[in-house]
């Protein structure tokens, strides 16, 4: 039999042990911890559990009170901001008098720049790990196209798409000098090719 793992099961076993020691004093005449002490320790645990429950309820209530206070403050501030924008329009200098500012014109999304520092790490028969870094310029990529070609031959073909800066490629034909590159992309368009790496699997 294994010792219980949960608090509830520990308390149940402690109660059974205390009762058993009391009823079986001839079998267990001198236990190192008497049944009365086990009961006292078990009651201490129950009191601590109850206190924790009360404290957790108080924390939950305090969190709810804080959230309500924050929502009320935000609503009040937005009313004053709307009033200020109605009063002085988009006048940045006057809006800054209350810590606010003029609304910025939305900027058009740019195509990303090229992904950086592509590396290829063969990991086993027919598969490898490609890793790279985000573009340093341009818009934020929404995805990365992974392309390959036989070394210095033909055009590039897509072999995968990633949303993070790494991908594992499996079932790559062995014994061929493959070249790999990454094309960062978003709704505005594709980036120039990243650096090109070669791998022979």
pLDDT score for 23 = 96
Q: In the structure, what pLDDT confidence band is assigned to residue 199 with cuts at 50, 70 and 90?
A: confident
Give the separation between CA 128 and CA 198, rounded to whole angstroms.
Answer: 11
Quick: pLDDT tens for 143-170: 999 999 988 777 899 999 999 999 999 8
Burial of 71 (0-12, 13-18, 19+ CB in 10 A): exposed
Tokens in use for 176? 């061929």
pLDDT surpassing 80 at residue 122: no
Write down the mean pLDDT value for the chain. 92
> Alpha carbon 195 to chain centroid distance?
30
CATH architecture group of domain 116-200: Sandwich (2.60)
pLDDT at 188: 93
pTM of the model: 0.49
Beta strands in 15-142 (DSSP E): 116-124, 127-133
Q: What is the pLDDT of residues 57-84, one digit of tens each?
A: 999 999 999 999 999 999 999 999 999 9
Q: What torsion do the CA atoms of 47, 51, 54, 55 make, to the nearest 10 degrees?
A: -170
What is the domain partition of the chain in residue ranges? 7-82, 116-200
pLDDT at 127: 85
Number of H helices, E strands in the chain: 3, 8
| 174: confidence class by pLDDT, cuts 50, 70, 90 | confident
- Report the share of the chain in percent with pLDDT over 70: 100
User: Does position 19 have pLDDT exceeding 90, yes or no?
Assistant: yes
More confident residue, 126 or 57: 57
Predicted confidence at residue 98, as pLDDT, reads 93
């Amino acid at each position: 039999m294994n010792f219980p793992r949960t608090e509830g099961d520990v308390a149940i076993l402690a109660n059974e042990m205390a009762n058993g020691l009391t009823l079986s004093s001839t079998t267990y005449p001198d236990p190192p911890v008497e049944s009365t002490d086990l009961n006292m320790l078990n009651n201490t645990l129950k009191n601590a559990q109850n206190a924790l429950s009360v404290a957790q309820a108080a924390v939950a209530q305090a969190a709810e009170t804080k959230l309500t206070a924050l929502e009320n403050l935000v609503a009040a501030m937005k009313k004053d901001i709307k009033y200020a924008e109605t009063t002085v329009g988009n006048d940045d200098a006057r809006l800054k008098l209350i810590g606010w500012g003029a609304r910025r014109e939305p900027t058009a999304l740019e195509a990303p720049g090229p992904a950086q520092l592509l590396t290829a790490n063969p990991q086993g028969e027919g598969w490898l790990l490609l890793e790279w870094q985000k573009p340093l310029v341009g818009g934020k990529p929404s995805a990365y196209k992974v392309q390959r070609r036989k070394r210095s031959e033909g055009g590039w073909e897509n072999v995968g798409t990633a949303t993070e800066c790494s991908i594992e490629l499996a079932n790559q034909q062995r014994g061929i000098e493959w070249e790999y590159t990454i094309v960062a992309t978003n709704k505005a368009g594709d980036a120039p090719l990243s650096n090109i790496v070669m791998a022979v699997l």
